[in-house]
Amino acid sequence: MFEALTDKFNDVFRRLSGRGRISEDNVREAMREVRTALLEADVNYEVVRRFCDDVVAKALGAEVIKSLHPGQVMVKIVHDELASLMGPVDPRIYYVSPPPTIIMMAGLQGSGKTTTCGKLARKIVAQGKRPVLVACDLQRPAAVEQLAIVAEQAGVPSFRLAGETSPVKVARRSVDWAAANDRDVVVIDTAGRLHIDEEMMQQAEDIARAVSPHQIYLVCDAMTGQDAVNSAKAFNDRLELDGVILTKFDSDARGGAALSVKAVTGKPIKFIGVGEKLDALEEFRPERMAGRILGMGDIVTLVEKAQSQYDAEQAARLQEKMAKGRFNLMDFLGQMRQMQKMGPLKELLKLIPGVGQDASAMQVAPEELARMEAIILSMTPRERENPDLIEASRRRRIARGSGTEPQDVSGLLKSFQMASGMMKQMAGMGMRDRMRFAQQMGQVSMMGGMPKFKIKQRSKRLTKKEREKLKKMKKRRR
């Protein structure tokens, strides 16, 4: 997400940081490039104009020109303006008493509305509530069956009325059913169209009038850019939305919808869909998103993802081992397995300050993690506990056992040593110190001071010369 925009911002600020002093002309020239980058990202023209004018006014008003670190001051101003453009946002779901809380989902066909109902239900369950999904899309073929499948995957019931053709009646009956069956949240999936039309809008209005939903969310496809913004405006004029959910956000390299929706409609983005799985729904945080756009990472989201996979007791044991320098290869393997549960490694790398802007170039294939696991499991328990024991002959034995090469074993051991050293250093810091350290890394990376992170790829095809060399090595081993 935002890859193209992030690259442009990085280029602009790198050039600014290379100047000893910044003049008013430099600031205006930089913002002309930012304006072009935003328009190319499909951000609304009026939003771009206001944003750039505000940044220039604050940059000159904050005396960026006289600052000792003008490039960093500019980054801070742009970051704050981006956050202001997309926020403020309160991503919480408010529940009423007495229940049930009624949430109505609207949107065009193909935006991912039904799947998002399941994702939202999963999030509601995690908050200790008991939702039910209601099938009010009675026009699209198999829509009712699809919602039933999604509800089953989310671990919640679905409500449907066999043979009923009125979505208003289904919605009204579902509220009574929820109250009678101890369900405290009702999520209503409504019908969509390929485009906005009067029949769809009227049906949505009728459902809203019949059940008086406490919250109405519009589901939009982030990849449609300004079409998503226009849809949000049209729906808001008729339904008075409470928020927008942007789907397919992980596939949108431009980000025009995310930067335009709040400014154009006045309605906040509440959640973003970042994958196909039912747990791939994130709360939208403007400050964190601004950091991602500027290539500064999002360490808070990374920590939250980690906390969702770790229990407190396990984390405490690991921290104690790291502080005492007893972090071994089985601990390292456990960390890698936990990271796999958190999502694609490439997406996690983007959240790390200093690495985020280079993560798109990193091809970290799942088979690489499987290779590392095979190597570690081919070691003896004593070798896993004390990797310093692994010399040349042991490396060759481990390589044979794991179907890899000795240099692969050496590479893994080197990675382990680096990770172990960094974790030991971090174990001695408090949470506040870690956050400050991460933020500093993000600021330095924006100024071009961080080294480039590269992951070397193993070639799947060997050259003729390499094949001959491999044969000779095998003969020597025999």
User: pLDDT tens digits for 67-94?
Assistant: 556 667 778 888 889 999 998 888 889 9
CB 127 within 8 Å of CB 239: no
Count of CB atoms within 10 A of residue 363's CB? Answer: 10
List, for residues 314-327, the tens digit of each pLDDT value.
Answer: 656 666 666 566 67
Identify the residue with better confidence: 237 or 432. Answer: 237
CA nearest neighbour of 352 among 247, 248, 450, 465: 450
* Helix segments in 190-298, DSSP class H: 198-211, 226-239, 256-265, 286-293
More confident residue, 240 or 104: 104
The overall longest dimension of the chain from CA atoms, in Å, is: 82
Confidence at residue 157, expressed as pLDDT on a 0 to 100 scale: 96
CA atoms of 423 and 205, how far apart (whole Å): 55
Give the chain's domains with CATH numbers: 3-86 (1.20.120.140), 101-284 (3.40.50.300), 299-446 (1.10.260.30)
Give the pLDDT band of residue 291 (cuts 50, 70, 90): confident
Encode 134-159: b = buried (16+ Cβ within 10 Å), e = exposed: bbbbbbeeebbebbbebbeebebbbb
pLDDT score recorded for residue 449: 39
Q: pLDDT tens digits for 438-471?
A: 544 444 444 443 333 333 334 445 566 666 766 6
Q: Mean pLDDT check: name the lowest of 357-361, 373-377, 407-411.
A: 357-361
- CA distance linking residue 168 with residue 190, whole number of Å: 10
**Dihedral, CA of residue 156, residue 162, residue 168 and residue 173, to nearest 10:** -60
Which region among 65-79, 136-150, 371-385, 416-430 has the lowest average model confidence (pLDDT)? 416-430
pLDDT tens digits, residue range 240-280? 899 999 998 887 667 788 888 888 888 999 999 988 889 88
> How would residue 288 be classed by pLDDT, with cut points 50, 70 and 90?
confident
Residues contacting 166, CB < 8 A, separation 6+: 138
The answer, yes or no, to whether residue 337 has pLDDT greater than 80, is no
What's the pLDDT at 455? Answer: 35
SS3 of 411-472: the string is HHHHHHHHHHHHHHHHHCCCHHHHHHHHHHHHHHHHCCCCCCCCCCCCCCCCCHHHHHHHHH
Query: DSSP letter string over 347-367?
Result: HHHTTSTTTGGGGGG----HH
Query: Residue 93 has what DSSP assignment?
Result: P
The DSSP code for 276 is S
**137, 114 Cβ separation under 8 angstroms:** yes
Tell me the average pLDDT across 53-73: 73
Tell me: pLDDT of 62 over 90: no
- Can you give the pLDDT at residue 348? 58
Flag whether pLDDT at 352 surpasses 60.
Answer: no
The more confident residue out of 390 and 295 is 390
Element (H, E) at 185: strand 185-190
Q: Give the pLDDT band (50/70/90) at residue 287.
A: confident
pLDDT of residue 451: 35
Choice between 363 and 288, residue whose per-residue pLDDT is larger: 288
Q: Whole-model pTM above 0.85?
A: no
Taking 60 as the threshold, does the pLDDT of residue 299 lie above it? no
| Higher pLDDT, residue 119 or 424 | 119
What DSSP state is assigned to residue 92? P
Residue bearing the bigger pLDDT, 303 or 86: 86
Highest-confidence range of 81-85, 147-151, 192-196, 369-373, by mean pLDDT? Answer: 147-151
Cβ–Cβ < 8 Å for 37, 8: yes
